[in-house]
């Protein structure tokens, strides 16, 4: 039983495989560039073409069909286009001029069912070359006929019309073969007698003339344009150079202005720094001067107090009037010397400070100069004021000394002044570089001796001059100092006053409290 089943299965499988093999071998497809021509019985009604005689063929494009074994067969028909080179021998035109023409035509089988069926009837079973040769003969024949019906000028001047006419006439015959003309062009029309060349010479000459004129005009225009372009370029270059120069000038001016502003700012900063430095130095100088002036004042006060202390000491010791006078004169001279030294130091320091302030002032300008001058003026005014106070105090002390010690102090001052007075009198003579004496004189009283005698005469008259101007009689002072007149009386009176003063103090001390 099982064996029988396997036999049935094997038979069925064999039948299926056989049917599948038949189907695979009998199913045909057509590519995009071809048409499948199916002939035979049982073609159906789709894609079937029937000619006038009742013959049927089935055309398959871009698809496939199953061929019934024994009843149907199929052959492919190429639908690819073909390129044909069409050439004619010498053909006499309407004017009797022999010409030859070369053209190119592209043909293919039409795309409709009827055109494919017609082409299948004509070319199925033939090669591609056979089909191209037949189409070429048709085209050449029509090309020759068209050449014979036209003049050379028409062919030469209007090739498009010539090729269109050939294509129109040939298309009718090719359509009967199932072919269509895709494109047809005339490549060349020529002759062996030079007719076409002669035909074109006038035109060539005209064209050459026009070309030469056009070339000349073009050259002229070119030269004009080139000159204008060169002019414009030169103008542009000059303008550009001017702009660059102007920009450089503006840049240089800006740089100069920037440097000037920097210099001004730097100068202002330096000036401000120098001004502040000068002010600081001036303040320090003024402060130092004030300190030194105060120190000198304190020193003078101390010296004056020292003089007073010594006077009291001499009073308490009850020295002799002559010793007291001598000591007082010495102390007065010492005080005067110290005062003069203090004044000289103050004057020297003031001169140095003024010179330093002046040097700093010269380095500054503008506001610094004004500030320095104002500060210097205030400084000098303060110095003068303090000096005046110091001199007033010193003169007061001197006046007190003069009042206390009398003519002895005056005589001491006059004696110290005499050398300076003699120096100033003789100074003009020392400044004389060269002198020419005209007066020879006599007895040694003229010439150069007389010149040197001027100083001696001035010194001789100094006593009278001093007495007339200040009321001080040097001779009388010397006589009083030597005891010839009233020195003794002054001493006795001073001794009496000192004793009375001492007795009064002792009496006050003895009074009960």
Given a cut of 60, is residue 509 above it in pLDDT? no
Tens-digit pLDDT profile for residues 225-244 = 888 888 888 888 888 888 88
Q: State the Cα angle at 347 between 344 and 349, rounded to 5°.
A: 110
Asked whether residue 352 is domain-assigned, the answer is no
pLDDT tens digit sequence for 113-146: 888 888 888 888 888 888 889 989 998 888 888 8
Verify that 125 and 174 share a domain, yes or no.
Answer: yes
Q: Angle 479-484-488 (CA atoms, 0-180°, nearest 5)? A: 110
Pair (153, 174) in one structural domain: yes
pLDDT at 296: 75
The distance between the two most distant Cα atoms of the chain, rounded to a whole number of Å, is: 205
pLDDT band at 403 (very low <50, low <70, confident <90, very high): low
HEC string of 140-184 equals HHHHHHHHHCCCHHHHHHCHHHHHHHHHHHHHHHHHCCCEEEEEE
Q: Does the residue 7 lie in any domain?
A: yes
Q: Which of 29, 62, 77 is the last residue of a domain?
A: 77
Residue 309: pLDDT over 80: no
Between CA 276 and CA 283 the distance in angstroms is: 10
Say whether both 47 and 149 belong to one domain.
Answer: no
Domain count, the chain: 2
Most confident among 266-280, 307-321, 471-485 (mean pLDDT): 266-280
Is pLDDT at 444 greater than 60 in this prediction?
no
Tokens coding 428 = 């003009």
- Of the ranges 39-48, 120-129, 213-222, 402-411, which one carries the lowest mean pLDDT score? 402-411
Q: What is the pLDDT of residue 446?
A: 53
- For residue 31, being part of any structural domain is answered with yes
What is the average per-residue pLDDT within 462-480?
63
User: Do 71 and 100 sit in the same domain of this protein?
Assistant: no
Q: State pLDDT tens for residues 253-264.
A: 888 888 888 888
CB within 8 A of 65, min separation 6: which ones? 27, 28, 36, 38, 58, 74
Would you say residue 29 lies in a domain?
Answer: yes
57 and 24 inside one domain:
yes
pLDDT at 320: 59
pLDDT in the model for residue 73:
84
Token pair belonging to 427:
């100074």
Share of the chain above pLDDT 70, in %: 59
CATH number at residue 187: 3.30.479.30
Please report which helix (H) or strand (E) contains residue 321, including its range.
helix 321-363
Q: pLDDT band for position 482 (50/70/90)?
A: low
Report yes or no on 144 lying in a domain. yes
From 77, 108, 132, give the residue that closes a domain.
Answer: 77
Q: Are 65 and 124 part of one and the same domain?
A: no
106 and 147, same domain (yes or no) = yes
> Which residue range is the domain that position 127 belongs to?
79-193
**Is the per-residue pLDDT at 491 higher than 70?**
no
Of 83-92, 217-226, 301-310, 362-371, the one with minimum mean pLDDT is 362-371
225 or 512: whose pLDDT is higher? Answer: 225
Q: What is the pLDDT of residue 287?
A: 77
* Residue 9 located in a structural domain: yes
Same domain, 118 and 152: yes
- In the predicted structure, residue 437 carries a pLDDT above the cut 50: yes
The pLDDT-based confidence of 188 (bands split at 50, 70, 90) is confident
- Of 77, 105, 131, which residue constitutes the final position of a domain? 77
Q: Over the chain, what is the mean pLDDT?
A: 74
Q: What is the pLDDT at residue 78?
A: 85
Residue 186 and residue 119 share a domain: yes
Those residues with Cβ within 8 angstroms of residue 131's Cβ, 6 or more apart along the chain or in another chain: 82, 122, 123, 179
Q: What is the mean pLDDT of residues 297-314?
A: 76
The predicted pLDDT at position 484 comes to 47
Q: For residue 209, which phi and psi values (nearest 5 degrees)?
A: -60, -50
Do 67 and 96 share a structural domain? no
Average of pLDDT values for 322-351? 67
* Domain assignment present for 41: yes
Q: Are residues 108 and 164 in the same domain?
A: yes
Q: Are 401 and 409 in contact (CB under 8 A)?
A: yes
The confidence score (pLDDT) of residue 488 equals 47
Q: Are residues 10 and 106 in the same domain?
A: no
């Amino acid at each position: 039983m099982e064996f029988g089943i396997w036999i049935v299965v094997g038979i069925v499988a064999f039948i299926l495989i056989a049917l599948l093999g038949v189907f695979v071998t009998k199913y045909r497809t057509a590519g995009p560039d071809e048409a499948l021509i199916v002939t035979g019985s049982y073609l159906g009604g789709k894609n079937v073409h029937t000619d006038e005689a009742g013959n049927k063929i089935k055309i398959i494009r871009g698809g496939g069909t199953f061929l019934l074994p024994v009843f149907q067969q199929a052959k492919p028909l190429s639908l690819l286009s073909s390129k044909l080179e069409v050439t004619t021998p010498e053909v006499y035109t309407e004017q009797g001029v022999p010409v030859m023409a070369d053209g190119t035509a592209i043909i293919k089988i039409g795309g409709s069912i009827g055109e494919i069926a017609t082409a299948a009837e004509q070319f199925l079973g033939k090669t591609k070359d056979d089909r191209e040769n037949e189409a070429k003969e048709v085209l050449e024949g029509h090309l020759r006929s068209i050449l014979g019906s036209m003049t050379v000028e028409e062919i030469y001047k209007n090739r498009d019309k010539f090729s269109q006419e050939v294509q129109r006439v040939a298309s009718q015959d090719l359509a009967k073969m199932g072919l269509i003309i895709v494109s047809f062009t005339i490549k060349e029309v020529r002759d062996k007698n030079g007719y076409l060349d002669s035909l074109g010479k006038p035109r060539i000459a005209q064209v050459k003339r026009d070309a030469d004129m056009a070339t000349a005009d073009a050259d002229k225009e070119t030269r004009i344009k080139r000159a204008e372009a060169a002019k414009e370029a030169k103008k542009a270059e000059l303008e550009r150079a001017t702009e660059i120069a102007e920009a450089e000038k503006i840049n240089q001016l800006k740089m100069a202005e920037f440097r000037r502003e920097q210099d001004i700012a730097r100068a202002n900063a330096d000036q401000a720094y120098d001004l502040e430095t000068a002010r600081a130095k001036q303040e320090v100088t003024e402060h130092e001067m004030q300190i030194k002036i105060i120190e000198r004042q304190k020193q003078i006060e101390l010296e004056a107090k020292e003089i007073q202390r010594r006077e009291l000491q001499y009073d308490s010791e009850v020295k002799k009037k002559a010793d007291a006078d001598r000591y007082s004169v010495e102390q007065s001279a010492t005080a005067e010397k110290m005062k003069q030294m203090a004044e000289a130091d103050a004057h020297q320091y003031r001169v140095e400070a003024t010179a330093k302030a002046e040097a700093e002032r010269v380095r500054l300008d503008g506001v610094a100069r004004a500030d320095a001058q104002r500060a210097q003026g205030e400084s000098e005014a303060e110095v003068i004021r303090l000096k005046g106070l110091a001199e007033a105090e010193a003169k007061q002390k001197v006046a007190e000394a003069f009042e206390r010690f009398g003519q002895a102090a005056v005589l001491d001052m006059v004696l110290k002044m005499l050398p300076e007075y003699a120096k100033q009198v003789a100074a003009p003579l020392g400044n004389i570089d060269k002198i020419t004496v005209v007066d020879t004189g006599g007895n040694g009283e003229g010439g150069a001796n007389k010149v040197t005698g001027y100083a001696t005469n001035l010194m001789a008259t100094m006593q009278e001059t001093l007495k007339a101007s200040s009321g001080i009689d040097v001779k009388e002072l010397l006589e009083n100092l030597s005891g010839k007149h009233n020195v003794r009386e002054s001493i006795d009176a001073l001794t009496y006053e000192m004793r009375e003063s001492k007795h009064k103090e002792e009496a006050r001390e003895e009074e009960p409290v």
